[in-house]
Structure 1
Amino acid sequence: MRLNGSVMTAAALAAASIGAATALAAPASAAANTTPQKVCGSSYRTVNSAAVGSLGTVYLTYNPSNGRNCVATIRSTPGTAVDMSAWIYVSATDEGAQDYGRYTSYAGPASVYGKAYCVDWGGQIKNVYVQVTGSNCSALKEQRVTTTR
């Protein structure tokens, strides 16, 4: 899936207005002890994270054997399905992945090849959005933005 930066930004902004279409999405099963490794795979290690207010955390993971990054947004307390998202984008390769829907516990996995590249990533739980840009590279200082809509 090829996504450009403006598409990722537009997708993040549009997540709040998904409405009835996401109400039909099958929710992920609630798992109180869900971890990024359970979502992305046991060979992925957590390399970064960002709080989604008090609602949960977005995790950036990396698998050194295949060079892929994976993102998962995990709720602090699973429960009734709510709007959630996880996304990742590598501008150098114009590759991105996303998962948006109504979930009870987590959104994701969303993964792309990211070895030796800066990555932009983020997620959403209910009306709280997190976006991290220029992450996990020595060339840039990452920027974090959390918004509530």
Structure 2
Amino acid sequence: MARLASAALLATTLTALPATATAAASAGYTPEQVCGSGFGRVNGGTQPATDHKGIIQGYVYLLYNARTGENCVVTIKSNFVGQPTLTRATLFRQIIGQNPDKFEDEGAYKYYAGPVKAQAKGRCVIFHGLITNMRAGERSSASSIQAFGGSRDYGNCG
């Protein structure tokens, strides 16, 4: 009887693990939660981060707070969740006639990079994100996965 109960408990635990990891990745972190109160997604502000095979590894989000004039970028992983892998969120604020201002958060993160916030009322922005399977200090190799996403042109010129 004790063996049967142990086997049932082990089977339940093993079955529940993937659902728990998925729930933590999707329900636990939305871009609105990461950026904070008052931020909402902008039109075209949800972009997949895809690797060289076209596989989506996560998403890069651009949000805007109309009250404060701030933009916010966050990159949320859908693969390598819970593993501290190189993840980046970048925001470029356009300055006419000059190089853009760059705001960035990069590190070995388990779930997401960001929030990266910048005041950009009346200015256009570009946003980018990176998700990899590389751990801190690890060099790129043939088995490395690097997924990029974001905007190509300036937009959200609030």
TM interval, shorter chain, is 0.5 to 0.7
TM-score normalised according to structure 1 size: 0.67
Q: Which structure 2 residues correspond to residues 1-149 of structure 1 after superposition, within 5 A?
A: 31-32=24-25, 33=27, 34-47=29-42, 48-53=45-50, 54-77=56-79, 78-92=81-95, 94-126=100-132, 127-132=146-151, 133-137=153-157
Larger fraction in helix: 2
TM-score normalised according to structure 2 size: 0.63
- Deviation digits for residues 74-109 of structure 1, max 9, x if unmatched? 012422111100010112274331000111100001
Partner-residue secondary structure (3-state), 2:68 = coil
Aligned-residue CA RMSD (Å) = 2.0
Cα shift at 1:131:
4.2
Cα shift at 1:118:
1.2
Q: Distance in 2 between matches of 1:121 and 1:92?
A: 15
Higher-Rg structure is 2
For 2:48, give the aligned amino acid.
A
Q: Distance in 1 between matches of 2:32 and 2:120?
A: 17
Identical counterparts, % of pairs: 36
Larger fraction in strand: 1
- Structure-2 residue corresponding to 1:141: none
Whether contact under 8 Å (2:63, 2:71) holds in the other structure is yes
Partner-residue secondary structure (3-state), 1:84 = strand
For 1:134, give the aligned amino acid.
Y
- Deviation digits for residues 92-139 of structure 1, max 9, x if unmatched? 27433100011110000111111221101111000112242312249x
